[in-house]
Structure formats: structure tokens, C-alpha cells
Structure 1
């Protein structure tokens, strides 16, 4: 296998380096596989095949050359991808193949950290042993060439090779019954897809048209008519010299109305925003005959964003007097905290954990003893109203968590009362909170923190059990009628299984979280994690000691804000280091609206 750095073709001079696998994730590295040499030993065939799997040659032709004719025809590399911490190793294991044919058996092994299914959805798992047998036999008699005749479908890649070959992309669908979009993360090939021969733009659009992943499907809808696909024969979508992307669709979309078509185009525009190397000024959807369905200009898709307030959102915190205050400063100035209007800012109502509504007109806060939840305006003065909820927990840590607002105007929080723990939601415009069912249940775990996404369809829960706190992502399902809705959280998945303890979490974009935690045997760190549990080498942020809480905006250009018991309230502008904005002992609980 030939590795060429920073170049898509063979260099004119210099040495050719044979490697087993790329040592690190680098999108500029191209791995060119080498076909099996005549007379190669069985172990060489195994090694060559594992190396060829890390390449992206068309239809994995070189990898198939290491297989027996029958296995080459039936092997399905696109079925799934198993991600190991490092490239798989092999060891000799005497055995026969499934038909009893004598040959040589090998055990492929490693530590599995994730799996990508046939929908291109990534699912992280707690590190676990991966073991799978491979069998080789001579083809064409005793003097024939060794070839692999038994192995699993799909690819098996080390993490560095996976990150080199694949990249995350968010597909976008509409939240069920609403005109706001929800991100659905998948992985596509960095360059050309070996099976479909599609470039990243075309891969992204095809993945969108294929529909939402199974996990998200119960809570989202596509505005594309059922069965919509790229027009027959379309394998490449290119932006023209006016930055217009023309997308020919099949006959299933030919009769879409103008309003529906614009939403279809918005789904594509949102999806392609993740491909930073591609500049799309306008999307034109076309019928199979090339006639125009509709057009959508860059920026027009924003009317369907789930969080309309993220761009200019302020940073809030609780000052040393237990008042809700706001930091009115940009990244380059000294922050000047100012208490907000209303009882939460005047000191009439001392507050603990807080959440500011996304329109920044209302705030919710628990009392300093965590027993009562209040909802009050923060734009005008007024009298203190009665709490909207009171916990009966006997100890402070058995009472209420800090609340969280979604983009629908619903307020979420948890009561940790040992006698009746519950996840609760206070619907917009209503006074009384309602219990939310969690299926299939928490299995003895307690809710430590609640953070709901702006789209209102996903929720991040920190669950404490056995002295450890872990991060899960759940799906918010809404059934019943408009007058009698039933809301539940289902499909809980671990979002940071590699971390043995998570202290704090915040949403940091459409499908990204920022977490504070530590891995087994490691030190505490602040890092970004995708909602599917995937990470990258660049996701670890500058170190910060003794972090108690952290906050991020859905606008990824806004700085992170954190509370450290040793540094006070600090923030991290893009490309900078942590900067203190409020001294030690002068404030806690920094938040953005949400």
C-alpha cells in the first residue's frame, strides 16, 4: 500500500513508503493499495487485505483481489463499518472454513469503539473486545495462490484510518408537525465514495434523500415526497461559476408545489453548510426533464432554523448576591456584569440554577435550596409570583436540577426526590408542569442534569449511578392529540461511552455538545462530542481546572463560557485561550439562552 501525503497523484521524485496504516487522521493523506504479489504467503494476504480496506479505490477492487473469486462476488463492504481504537491485528488460529475446506485460519482482533450502519449512522460504544475469524485457502489446487475465502461483511478500520477516509455531515429534516429543522448526523467519504462513485456533495444530497436515520425517524419529517431520489444517471452535482447548485430529481418530486419545494431546497442548503469547502449561493431543484421546480438563495433557509436567537444571544450567570446578571461585553472587552430587571435581578428572589428563555424575555430559576422553581420576566420589574413547582426532596441534592428551555417555549427540569423522581416539562403558555415518561426507564440511575436541544426533539441527560455520571441522548416523542398531548423520552443512547465520568454538558450546535469529563485512567478535560458519540483529535479544548459548569451557544462563533472554582467565570473565544471575565467567588452557573 502506498501512502502519499498532500497530493492526489504520484510524486515526481522521492521515496515510496510502504505502511500498514496511517498513523494519524489527516484528510490530505491518500492511501493507494497494492495488489497481492505472486506467491505471497497467507499472512501477507491477510495483511495486504487489511491495508487495502483503508483505501478508497473504486468498489474496493484491490481489496477484492485478496479474496477468493466467490468471496469477492459476495463481500459487501458497504454493509457496515466497525471502528477500532487502532488498526486490527491478526493471529494464526488453526481451523477449517465453513465448508470444511482445509486452509489457514486467523483471528482478527482489536478494541471496538464504534460502528457505522448501512444508513451511515455512527454509534459509539464503550470500548470492548472485537474478535472475528478470517480464513484463507489455496485457490486452484495445492500450488495455487492463497486467498481469503471467509470474512465478515463490511469494513474494519482503525480510528485514524476512519477519520482520514470519512467525515461527519448533518442531514436536516423538519421536526414533526413544525417548520423548524433538526440535524441528523451521518458519515460520508472524504473524497469519492468507492461504491457509488459520488463526490461529497452528491453523497450528502443522496443521504438526505434516502431519509432520516432509524433513531431520529420517529420525530422528524422530510418535505421531499416519498421515493424522491436524484434523477436517473446523476452521480455528480457540481456548483457552476455563479455558485448555483442544480439538483435534478426523479419524477416523484415533479409535482411538488412551490412552498413545499422551497422547504426541500432548504433541507439541502442546511445539509451542504457542513461542507465548508463548497460555496453554494443558490440551489435550483429540477424535474427529470431539466425544467426548474424552484430556487432558494443562501440565507433564505434560516427562516426554518430551530434557534432564531442564537446569533446575538447574551451570556448570563448568577452573581455573588444570588442575582441573575448578564455580561454585556464582546470578546475583546472587559465584561461588566449587570443584574437583569425583575425580582431575579433585584435580589427579591435569590436564585440558584438558572435558564433564560431563547427570546430572552423570561427566565426560570430554582431557589438557592433547590426546592422551588420560579418563572419570571427579565425585561421589567414586578412582584414575585408563586413558584410553578415545589420539590419534596429532603436534601438539596435530592431536589430540582437547573431548568432548560427548548425552542418551542417548553421548560424542562428534573425532580430528584427519592420518593418520586421525575423528568418534567412545563408546556409553553401553561402553568402546571407535566411528568415525562422515559422509556424503557433509567434502571436505577438518577438525573443529574437536563439540557434540551433548541429543536425540542432531542434531550441530553446526565445520569448518575454507582458513583459515576454518564451522558445520554434521548429522543423527545410527542403523541396523542393537540388538546391532550403525550410527551415521552425514548431511544436513550450513550453519547460519551468513552468517558467514565461526565460533570457538565451543554449543546454547542445542531448536533454537537461540549462536555467536561474524564476517560478511564485519564485526567479531566473539556471537549466537543457529536450527539452520535463521535469525536476527532481536534475536539479537545485547552485545559481548565475544576470546571463546575459550562455553556455554549448554538451559534458556533460565540465563545464557550465556564465556571471554574479556581479561575472564576471564564470564556474561550474562537482561536484563543481561556479568559477570566468574573473573578473567583463573584459568580456561578453561566448560561446562554436555552
Structure 2
């Protein structure tokens, strides 16, 4: 529970104290902190000043019930690590049983608080306040974010102590409540990493594949320590069925670990309990890789981790060595950007360059014998798949000069082009995914290594018809645009595989959840990193827009792409240093970092490998 400094009008000034956790304090234009006198109240804390920490003021003497409620709500938006000040607004028993870590409820504005009536006599020492608002999201005990909607209404009860005469809260909901802008100021999204467990390659000697698991942590409350603890606690419930952790069950930080901070060489020492003692070097390297991937984007930088247990070093690993110990999609840099030119053939440009003169891709798909409407290139850039101009046939060919195309590997029976095959997508193990939109038999299909009989993927939770398919680089998550009742929604699901290596597995997509609940017409999308997608769509009654979204449905704290008119398709690489590329009314265009959209050339259906 909390209060929103940037939301609706305040009932009184926000009572918080602020100080800089090292460095210069900058608050509302101030460039220094006085070295004498009292700390002044501040109205708000600018989000961009991540060094500033905000602490609440304890309850005042003889504070009225309304001030107690308001002070408590304000205290929940502070950077007090254990909410000690917030507990001072509670009775002793309530302070012992209240568990703020259980959940965070996010409202559009700060919560409203109105008295719910009092009585005379003995009941005059008791009062109830009703907290109200409109829900935006919740963050659960595992720090996992989930969009939410609808009204919020809960009660807090206060009582007046007979001896001291002071009002305190004696009954309240578990968890924390705050407005959206306070949430954005207090929390940040960080991905922790586990390894894919349900792929065909799992359990073999192949390099494990890292999978991102985004969670929300408090920005200025030891985020590095928070992330290590969260990683050791295991994956979120949603991702758990398809990943594994290399940490032995029960592994945790040593009891005397304290706050984790890297040394002046950016080396972080992590003391673990005895559950991690005695592990082998390969497993320890995997554990260290999980930590390095998790801490990669935090500040201060961590270039190396050292794991210890029972006072003994288990292993140490650098960032460069982590990329060798496990596959991380952002470490793979595609060689080319691919698209279809005016001759309906597959062409390519070197990725990340300013070149605009495309060359035909080697192989039959680049020779133009079969006119194409959409393409997908395998992640190793050795094979390509193309859908014929009428959307009926799927072809697969090698990206080697002189190769023949052969017969289609799949045909749709849909009567119109819109009722036939979607753009295909390759997974990390050379599996080729495509949806057949035939209304009489809509299916999601998988062709192992792009050949053979297509395997129909079970999608029992799917309600609607698939219009677009994109498989994540980790091979265990899939993004689907699903149409129902004239609306097109983006869903993200998990890919589960049952079967032993070398056998044809039973494949199904489970745990589908909406990543864009506020958009009613998603027209294009692409993966844009480990846990992020770029989406083109519009809200009800709105205009087309392009935005980034997280797989959990939250909005990442990064600037959205620059506006672009008439976007029909979009593609992004796992390497965020490469530009976004789109097909719009201006043809093929790209968006370099820090620049505006630039025309590249004529063409359609741009794709990076995947």
C-alpha cells in the first residue's frame, strides 16, 4: 500500500526525507545538501535521480486517524529496506503480522482513503478507512509482474490506545499498495537467468541455453543483493515448467553475507551456504554464468563473480567466460538482414551497416524461380523458409549457391490468402514453426529441421486463430498474435516437449498470457531481446503505434521507438545494438540507435535470423 506523488491531488504535503547514497544530492533543482539545520520535507522525488533515497517520517504526536493512514501510505513509497517507519503506524500486533513482501498492488493513481464511519461511546476509539482505486498490475511474492484491471477496495482499521491516546492501524491488508508513478520510481524490471530444460538438447553435452525470467525489485534497496536472492529462490511459477537452475536445491546466501557489492576490480564475491559445497567445476561455472547474466545490467558493473561456500572458493568466472559456458542469445550477432525485393526473391544486406544495395541470397530462394511473400532464416543462417506469393505453399532451401528448392514441405487448403500460411519462424534447434489459418482446420505446426511430416502442436488454451508466430531464441517461449471477434492480441506462451533425445517429441504450447492487454489490434511484432518484444498496434479508438513490451505485460523503462507511419511488418535482433527494421509505406526502413527512421530500399517482409 502506498501513495502516488504524481497522481491525484494530495490531502497534505508528502512527508518524506531524502538523502544521497553517495555522490551529489539533486532534488527539484537543488545542487547541494545543507550541512546544518533540519532536513526539509520534499514534495516528490524525480525518477531519473537513482542515487536519491527517500525515507518516510514517523507518526507525529497526537496525529489524527486520517494523518496516520496518509502517513502510512506515504511510508510505503519510501526506500526504507524493511519498512520500519511504516510499521510505526501500526499497533504492535499488526506490525508483527503484516508482511509487505507478499505482494505489491499498483493503482492508476495513489489510493484514495475515506473514513467508513465511527460510533460514539467505546466505539469512538475505533475507525475504519476505505482504500480505493483502479488496479493496473500486481507483483507477487516471487516479484513477478502481472497486468490487472478493475476497481480496488480494501479496508484498514484503526484503534486509539487507552493510555497514550495515540491512533494506530490494527488491521490492514497484507502486501503493499501504491500508485503507478510511485511504482515506476520505486521499482525496476531486471531479468534473472535459468537454463532451458525441456528442449531436445537438454541433458546432452550441448551448451545450456539461458532463459530470461523478468522480476521487479526495489531500485534503491540493495538491488544486487535482491537479484542474487531472487535467483537462488528459483524461477517464477510461470517459467518454472521449462527451465532448470544449476544451483543445488536449498542453496542460499550465507547467513552472514550482508549486502553484496563488487570490489574496485568489479569482482563480486558471493558467499553461499553449505548446500553448494563440493559441487563440480562445470556445474559451478554454470552457476556463475547464471549470476553474471543476471547482474549484467545492474550498476555498479560486475565483470567477474567468485562463489564461496564454507570459507572455500568454489569457482570464479568472468563475463567473457560466461558466454562460453552457456548460450546467451544477445551474444549472437547475425551476419545479415533479409527481405523480399521487387522481384519477389530473397535478398540480404550485411547486418548493422548503412548499405542499401541488397544482394540475392545464395540458394534457390534467392534465384527468384518461386515468387515469395514472406521468409524466415534459420539462426545459423544456413537454411531459409519461404511462403509462396499466394500464401498456400511453404518451401525450405539451403543458403548455398546451386541448391535446388524441390516441392513444398507444406500446403494450406485455405480458400483465400488471408486464410493460409503465416510467416514462418525458426527455433534454436532448427525447428520450423508456422500457423495454417485455414478456418476449417486452423493449426500450429512444427517441422523438425524444416523437413518431414509436420507435427501439429497442441494449443488447448488457445481461444482464437493464430495470425503471427515468433519463437524466442531460447526455444522455450513463443509469441503468438491471436485473432478473435475482430481483435488481435499478443500472447506469450511456453513450449513444452515430452520425449527422449532422438525421438519425435509431443509438443504443446501452454501458459498463454496476454502481453498487450490494452491493445485491441496488434498488426506486427518481433522479439527484441531476451524478455522484450516490439509491437505494432493500436488501442481502442486510437492510432497505430509502435512500442516495446515485456513478456510479463509490463512496459520496459526505455524510450519507445520513434513514430512511423503505415507499419506493416517489423523485425528486431537479439543484439540490441542492431537497428529495428520495418516495412512501411516507405518500403524497407531502419531505426539506428539515437537516430530517426531512415529509408533503406524497396522491398517487403524484413527479418533477422530466427
Same fold (TM over 0.5): yes
Contact map agreement 2:335 2:351 (CA 8 A) in 1: no
Give TM-score, length-normalised by structure 2: 0.89
Task: Give, in whole Å, the separation in 1 of the partners of 2:134 and 2:525.
Answer: 27
Alignment of 1:313-324 (within 5 A): 313-324=335-346
Change (3 A) 1:100 1:395: farther
Quote the residue 1:130 is aligned against.
Answer: 152
Task: Give, in whole Å, the separation in 1 of the partners of 2:343 and 2:358.
Answer: 12
Aligned to 1:311, the other structure's residue is in SS state coil
Quote the residue 1:186 is aligned against.
Answer: 215
Quote the residue 1:498 is aligned against.
Answer: 518
Change (3 A) 1:32 1:309: closer
Change (3 A) 1:5 1:255: closer
What is the CA deviation profile of residues 502-522 of structure 1, one whole-angstrom value per residue up to 9, with x for unaligned ones? Answer: 221111111111111223444
Alignment of 1:123-522 (within 5 A): 123-125=146-148, 127-140=149-162, 144-176=165-197, 177=202, 179-192=208-221, 199-275=222-298, 277-289=299-311, 291-303=312-324, 304-307=326-329, 310-328=332-350, 330-331=352-353, 333-428=354-449, 430-439=451-460, 441-443=461-463, 445-482=464-501, 483-522=503-542
Give TM-score, length-normalised by structure 1: 0.92
Q: Give the deviation of 1:174 after TM superposition.
A: 0.9
Task: Give, in whole Å, the separation in 2 of the partners of 1:262 and 1:137.
Answer: 55
Q: Give the deviation of 1:473 after TM superposition.
A: 0.7
Which ranges of structure 2 fall in alignment gaps of 5 or more residues?
A: 1-14, 26-31
What is the CA deviation profile of residues 79-120 of structure 1, one whole-angstrom value per residue up to 9, with x for unaligned ones? Answer: 111112222122232279xx9996222221222111111111
Q: Give the deviation of 1:424 after TM superposition.
A: 0.9
Which ranges of structure 1 fall in alignment gaps of 5 or more residues?
A: 193-198
Contact map agreement 2:580 2:590 (CA 8 A) in 1: yes
Change (3 A) 1:100 1:43: closer
Alignment of 1:18-33 (within 5 A): 18=41, 27-33=50-56
Contact map agreement 2:550 2:556 (CA 8 A) in 1: no
Task: Give, in whole Å, the separation in 2 of the partners of 1:554 and 1:427.
Answer: 23
- Aligned pair count reads 575
What is the CA deviation profile of residues 478-510 of structure 1, one whole-angstrom value per residue up to 9, with x for unaligned ones? Answer: 113332411111111111213232221111111
Quote the residue 1:558 is aligned against.
Answer: 578
Task: Give, in whole Å, the separation in 2 of the partners of 1:399 and 1:152.
Answer: 51
Q: Give the deviation of 1:388 after TM superposition.
A: 0.8
What is the CA deviation profile of residues 164-217 of structure 1, one whole-angstrom value per residue up to 9, with x for unaligned ones? Answer: 22221111111112611111111122122xxxxxx2222211111111111111
| Worse overlay, 469-478 or 308-317 | 308-317
Change (3 A) 1:312 1:397: closer
Change (3 A) 1:345 1:484: closer
Task: Give, in whole Å, the separation in 2 of the partners of 1:92 and 1:18.
Answer: 26
Contact map agreement 2:239 2:494 (CA 8 A) in 1: yes
Quote the residue 1:36 is aligned against.
Answer: 59
| Worse overlay, 228-237 or 391-400 | 228-237
Aligned to 2:110, the other structure's residue is in SS state coil
Contact map agreement 1:525 1:540 (CA 8 A) in 2: no
Change (3 A) 1:107 1:308: closer
Contact map agreement 2:348 2:359 (CA 8 A) in 1: yes
Q: Give the deviation of 1:20 after TM superposition.
A: 6.5
Q: Give the deviation of 1:302 after TM superposition.
A: 1.3
Contact map agreement 1:82 1:155 (CA 8 A) in 2: yes
Determine if the alignment matches structure 1 residue 69 to structure 2 residue 92: yes
Alignment of 1:562-581 (within 5 A): 562-565=582-585, 567-581=586-600
Task: Give, in whole Å, the separation in 1 of the partners of 2:88 and 2:193.
Answer: 38
Change (3 A) 1:7 1:254: closer
Cα RMSD (Å) = 2.3
Quote the residue 1:196 is aligned against.
Answer: none
Task: Give, in whole Å, the separation in 1 of the partners of 2:491 and 2:445.
Answer: 17
Q: Give the deviation of 1:44 after TM superposition.
A: 1.5
Task: Give, in whole Å, the separation in 2 of the partners of 1:58 and 1:232.
Answer: 18
